[in-house]
Amino acid sequence: AQSVAQPEDQVNVAEGNPLTVKCTYSVSGNPYLFWYVQYPNRGLQFLLKYITGDNLVKGSYGFEAEFNKSQTSFHLKKPSALVSDSALYFCAVSRVNKYIFGTGTRLKVLA
């Protein structure tokens, strides 16, 4: 069965420090992987996606994600966190006619 897991409900990081939000997936065949961000009382916004090619994907607002096929992971990263990055982050996996979201990870960047 196709699934995606975000093992951390919340991640706290100090402003200026690097951040990582974890995502693992389970899908047969080659996955398409996405990260979305949700700010309070807003809809989800697309950050980046992995379709094929380079395992390091760069996206909006300085975020990047690394696709690791052997570990079936697609972790979201940023070299230097900003307080304004505080939000809810969702990983999603797509394959054939299914698009599955993770349960979300709340990122809190502390000033």
Partner 1 sequence: NAGVTQTPKFQVLKTGQSMTLQCAQDMNHNSMYWYRQDPGMGLRLIYYSASEGTTDKGEVPNGYNVSRLNKREFSLRLESAAPSQTSVYFCASSEATGWGSYEQYFGPGTRLTVT
Residue 95 engages partner 1 in binding (rule: CB under 8 A): yes
Residue 61 engages partner 1 in binding (rule: CB under 8 A): no
List 1, 28, 54, 97, residue binding partner 1 (CB under 8 A): 97
For strands 87-95 and 32-38, give the pairing.
antiparallel
For 29-56, letters b (16+ CB in 10 Å) and e give eebebbbbbeeeeeebeebbbbeeeeee
List 7, 10, 12, 51, residue binding partner 1 (CB under 8 A): 51
Least Å from the CB of residue 82 to partner 1: 22
